[in-house]
Amino acid sequence: MNHQARERLEAAARRFLDAKPWSAVGDEYLFGLHDRVNDRFGCVSVMGGAGLEFGLTVNLGAAGFELLQRLLDSQID
């Protein structure tokens, strides 16, 4: 990863932590994204309700949604 990309990622992570989206939605709340430029679909989940780990997962397409759903249903780790 180049220096500029790392700086942008670190800035985005700080904005994410400051926004605290897990205080508004739980892990079980899934929402979709549509990249109209590349015509791709994704499924997003905000993680952090337990207050120990924080993250955002973006899973692309039907296979990504199925994987995320299996994770949320405790079918996989």
**One pLDDT digit (tens) per residue for the chain, 77 residues:** 799 989 998 998 889 888 888 888 877 778 888 888 988 888 888 887 667 777 888 888 888 888 888 887 888 87
Q: Does residue 29 lie within any of the structural domains?
A: yes
In a domain, 7, yes or no: no
- Per the confidence metrics, is the pTM higher than 0.75? no
> Does 5 fall in a domain?
no
Give me the domain span that covers residue 67.
22-77
Does 47 fall in a domain? yes
Structural domains of the chain, count? 1
Whether the CB-CB separation of 10 and 23 falls below 8 Å is answered with no
* Structural domain contains residue 10: no
Q: Is 40 part of a structural domain of the chain?
A: yes
> Tokens 């892990």 correspond to what residue?
27
Confirm whether 17 is domain-assigned: no
3-state class (DSSP) for residue 46: strand
